[in-house]
Amino acid sequence: MVQQANHPLPPAFQLDEYCIEHQLSLGGFSIVYVATDIHGTRVAIKEYLPNTLALRGEGKTAPVISEDHLPAFRYGMKCFFEEGKSLAGLSHPNVIRVLNFFRANDTVYMVMEYEHGRTLQELIQKNRAGVTENFIRNVFTKMLNGLREVHSHRLLHLDLKPSNIYMRNNQTPVLIDFGAARQTLACDTPMLKPMYTPGFASPEHYSQRELLGPWSDIYSVGASMYACISASTPQAADGRLEKDRLVPAMVRWEGLYSDQLLETIDWCLCLNHRYRPQSVFALQKALTEAVIPPTPQPKAKWLDQMVGKFKKSRSP
């Protein structure tokens, strides 16, 4: 979240041809609003407003950018353009679509399709029981269609995580927030730190950014699948490099999901980038493979469960 929070534009604000409804999210780099266009169609508008460089006070329209920060602000704008450009060139049902791009209030705006639904993060938290083998295979195989398209445009997402995968109400996933994608170009700008999320970012994100490749996004996909099952963020890769405390999916959930799925997750989460699936296609192949369903465990009675617990606590 944000340290120096920027004030969002107020509801009912007329921004170009759009009317702002409310703020959707606030990030370190931008603010996203829900708005309606002249036809009354809902859209999402992303406003470029890095809070390290530009601050908008309450009730103001244009941000205050100090002279010192102007070059970096403009440089960051370049990155925002890169994000816009890369998204504009992508037309795929599993990637968020850009509808317009314009300049106003001393900054720039990207208009995107507004989708009804919620993020995968919210979905799995609301419905723990829904995270079945089929659910994971389905969601991630479809999501990977989008990621394949991204990679085929020589782009990396670099910030894949459940909160950046948006689930439409019809259960199809859409990749959102390509804010980190620009970092392939801009990692030498001190004011715009490389963006990543600990737990989902690959080891390359931290130290060897020259090694970033499709396999780095694949690590994040593995971490996202892991997080879906565990309902928590996996150990961060830099910590794993020092002392790996991440329990392999195969060890943690054996019997609950098919071995093949769990092995695939662990495969994606290899610390060495060469040992992971090297392309999205390879991973999709693994996810769509026909497998033997896990042997259903006989439902233990509560007494057996208790006895089992005691046994377990004694054994280590």
Partner 1 sequence: MKFTIYQESRAGKRANNEDRLAHCYSRDSLLMVVADGMGGHYFGEVAAQIAVQTLTESFQRQVTTRIRDPFLFLQTGMLNAHRAILDFAGKHQLQDSPRTTCVACIVQNNIAYWAHSGDSRLYLLRKGRALAQTKDHSRVRLLLEQGIINEEQASTHPDRNKIYGCLGGQQTPEIEFSHKTTLEAEDVLVLCTDGAWNGLPGNLMAVALKTANLMHAVPTLLAQAETRCGPQADNLSMIAVRWQDSYVDESSAGGSLISTKSMPRETVTTRLDEFGRNPRHKTELSEEEIELAIEEIRSTIQKYAK
User: What is the DSSP code (8-state) at residue 245?
Assistant: -
Based on CB atoms, which residue is closest to partner 1, 66 or 132? Answer: 66
Tallying the residues shown for the chain, one arrives at 316
Based on CB atoms, which residue is closest to partner 1, 92 or 142? Answer: 92
Min dist CB 86 to partner 1, Å, is 9
- Characterize 157-182 residue by residue with b for buried, 16 or more Cβ atoms within 10 angstroms of its Cβ, and e for exposed: bbbbbbbbbbbeeeebbbbbbbbbbb
Min dist CB 223 to partner 1, Å, is 13
Based on CB atoms, which residue is closest to partner 1, 104 or 256? Answer: 104
Task: Report which residue type is found at 193.
Answer: K
Based on CB atoms, which residue is closest to partner 1, 102 or 281? Answer: 102
Min dist CB 204 to partner 1, Å, is 17
Task: Compute φ and ψ for 111, nearest 5 degrees.
Answer: -100, 130
Which residues form the interface with partner 1 (CB under 8 A)? 1-8, 26, 55, 57-58, 68-72, 74-75, 77-78, 81, 84-85, 88-91, 98-103, 108, 188-191, 193, 198-199, 232-233, 235-236, 239, 242
Min dist CB 215 to partner 1, Å, is 24
CA distance 36 to 99: 13
CA distance 53 to 180: 17
Min dist CB 43 to partner 1, Å, is 13
| Helix, coil or strand: residue 235 | coil
* Sheet with strand 42-48: strands edge to edge: 14-15, 18-26, 30-36, 42-48, 107-113, 98-104
Based on CB atoms, which residue is closest to partner 1, 151 or 161? Answer: 161
- The CB density around residue 54, as the number of other CB atoms within 10 Å, is 22
